[in-house]
Amino acid sequence: MNRIDRWFGEHTTPAFIGFAVAGDPDPETSVRVANTLVSAGVDILELGMPFSDPVADGPTIQRAGQRALAAGTTPDEVFAVARAIRVSCEVPIVLLTYFNLVWNRGIEVFYRDARDAGIDGIPIVHMPVEESDGVREAASAAGIAPIFLVAPTTSVVRQEAIIARASGFLYLVSVLGVTGVRDRVAEETVSLIRRVRCRTGLPLAVGFGISKPGHAAACCGAGADAVIVGSAIVEIIERHLDDEDAMMDALSAYIFSMRAATGAKPG
Residues 6+ apart with CB under 8 A from 209: 174, 175, 179, 180, 181, 182, 185, 215, 231
From the list 24, 43, 46, 113, the catalytic residue is 46
Which alpha helices (H) appear in 71-179, and where do they start and end? 75-88, 99-105, 107-116, 133-142, 156-165
Which letter does DSSP use for residue 124 in this model?
Answer: B
Query: Within 13 Å, how many C-alpha atoms sit on residue 98's CB side?
Result: 12
Task: Of 220, 131, 203, give the one whose Cα is nearest residue 167.
Answer: 203
**Catalytic (active site) residue 90:** no
Distance separating alpha carbons of residues 209 and 224, to the nearest angstrom = 15
**Catalytic (active site) residue 57:** yes
Say if CB 219 and CB 185 are below 8 A apart.
yes
Say if CB 23 and CB 68 are below 8 A apart.
yes
Helix (H) or strand (E) holding 228: strand 226-229
From residue 40, give the alpha-carbon distance in Å to each of 5, 44, 68, 135: 22, 12, 23, 33
Establish whether the linkage from the previous residue to 123 is cis, with ω within 30° of 0.
no
From the list 57, 77, 120, 225, the catalytic residue is 57
Residues 6+ apart with CB under 8 A from 136: 146, 165
Distance separating alpha carbons of residues 71 and 79, to the nearest angstrom = 15
Residue 197: CB atoms within 10 Å: 17
Residues forming the active site: 46, 57
